[in-house]
Amino acid sequence: MEYRKDFLSCLDSDMSLKILMCLDNPADLVRVSCVSRSWTHSVIANGLCKQLCLRMFPQLSRVALVVELNQPGAKEHAEVGSSYSMEWLALQREHRVYAYLGRALMSSFAKNCIAKTVGASSTDNFPRESIDNTLEPRDNVAGRDSYWSSNGQIDPNVPETLTYELVSQICVITEINIQPFQAHFQIGSPIYSAKSVRFKMGHPKASLDAVDDEMFVWTYTSPEFPMSQENQLQKFKLPEPVLCIGGILQIELLGRVQRQEMDGLLYICVTHVQVLGGSLSPAFNVDNLEASGMFVLQRDRLANYQPVMTSENESQEISAEQGGPREFRQIVPILRGQEVGVVEDDWDEEEYEVDDFEEEDAL
């Protein structure tokens, strides 16, 4: 029989942990957790799936608790067991939730995530020039120009904001696209763009009795991007994908560049807005958002997550580079100890069972 040696057992715990943390795919971490009892303990006890998700999306540092919905046996486990076994079950639950979350976060996102408008800081002629017009991709509807317009200002430094509600309370956002409005009905066809833009993401305040006028808690603020005075959809790609917790996105329009000849005031006008990314709901959701920004991360075992691909070719490329659903389902036989070549010498399946990644529930 071929002799096999667990090389991690020859290293100190810190060095072993550094090696395991080099893995950057949640599927690999799940496989590693099934090699042996000691590897299982290293991956789960050190929360390596959670750490991987935190490296990808720092916004997850505000997770106060993870919860599994519709998880078989959860109620029984909650009622019986020693404090140690309960602690281990909690670590296993966290391992499962973050493993599935990590896989979802590595998917490709290319969908407009705006569900509806919340409001604008000002509107010149309501409702004809309402923020609702920015959801319409066409700049002319039924022979009438479609756009949002701010109030006119003398000071070019007065900012404006457009606030939107996203399709779910937990979305990955990669890019925001904005098209300034060109007034062809005015002399010279002026373009009412802003000088620059900035983006905020967050959630509504838990208390409606806030002492200030701010309705939201912002957990992310982007760098400032310059905006061109051009009548085209301008793309503002975020430095890194952002996990929007709470489902609110605000566009800050900074600096006015175009003065209206009729009244001599400076305006900002927008034809269309897109917020590109993807929703992690219904497989994942958040709850108990507070003013501090802490939240409960929920995973529904019965809900399937379906990533959005921009095209068939891109779908094939991502499957090749990151592994698609079929690749992730291959974890199931590994979790059940059926993979050839794994170290089985000290595996205690009953004590360290982590085969809750059922094939029909694979992401």
Q: Is the confidence at residue 319, as pLDDT, over 80?
A: no
List, for residues 81-113, the tens digit of each pLDDT value. Answer: 566 688 888 888 998 899 899 888 888 778 999
Task: Name the residue among 219, 353, 222, 330 with its Cα closest to residue 275.
Answer: 222
Give the C-alpha distances (Å, rounded to integers) separating 168 from 120, 123, 360. 20, 26, 24
> Is the peptide bond preceding residue 307 cis, with omega within 30 degrees of 0?
no
User: What's the start-to-end Cα distance of the chain, in Å?
Assistant: 37
- Given CA atoms 116, 119, 122, 127 in this order, what sign does their dihedral have? positive
By percentage, how much of the chain surpasses pLDDT 90? 49
By percentage, how much of the chain surpasses pLDDT 70? 71
**Side-chain half-sphere of 264: how many Cα atoms within 13 Å?**
1
Residue that is written with structure tokens 């057992």 in the block: 9
More confident residue, 285 or 357: 285
Q: How confident is the model at residue 324 (pLDDT cuts 50, 70, 90)?
A: very low
Coil, strand or helix at 19: helix
What is the average pLDDT across 185-191?
95
The pLDDT of residue 255 is 98
List, for residues 131-168, the tens digit of each pLDDT value. Answer: 999 999 998 898 899 999 999 999 999 999 999 999 99
Q: Is the confidence at residue 305, as pLDDT, over 60?
A: no
Cα gap 37→40, rounded to integer Å: 5
List, for residues 38-72, the tens digit of each pLDDT value. Answer: 778 888 888 888 999 999 999 999 898 999 988 76
Task: Name the residue among 53, 96, 55, 91 with its Cα closest to residue 72.
Answer: 96
Residue 94, token pair as written in the block: 């966290």
Computed over every residue of the chain, the mean pLDDT equals: 80
Give the C-alpha distances (Å, rounded to integers) separating 35 from 16, 38, 78, 260, 282. 14, 8, 28, 69, 32
The pLDDT of residue 107 is 80
Q: How confident is the model at residue 296 (pLDDT cuts 50, 70, 90)?
A: very high
> What residue type is assigned to position 41 of the chain?
H
Task: Return the H-helix or E-strand segment holding 299.
Answer: strand 295-300
What is the average pLDDT across 202-222?
75
Pairing relationship of beta strands 295-300 and 63-69 according to DSSP bridges: parallel
The pLDDT of residue 7 is 64
Residues in the chain: 363
Q: Per 3-state DSSP, what percentage of the chain is helix, strand, and coil (rounded to 5)?
A: 30, 30, 45
108 close to 318: Cβ distance less than 8 angstroms: yes
Coil, strand or helix at 322: helix
What is the average pLDDT across 350-356?
40
Q: Is the confidence at residue 280, as pLDDT, over 50?
A: yes
How many other CB atoms sit within 10 Å of the CB of residue 164?
A: 22
What is the average pLDDT across 343-356?
39
> What residue type is assigned to position 60 of the chain?
L
What pTM, to 2 d.p., does this model score? Answer: 0.79
In this predicted structure, which of 47-56, 225-234, 291-300 has the lowest mean pLDDT?
Answer: 291-300
Give the C-alpha distances (Å, rounded to integers) separating 28 from 91, 298, 306. 18, 23, 21
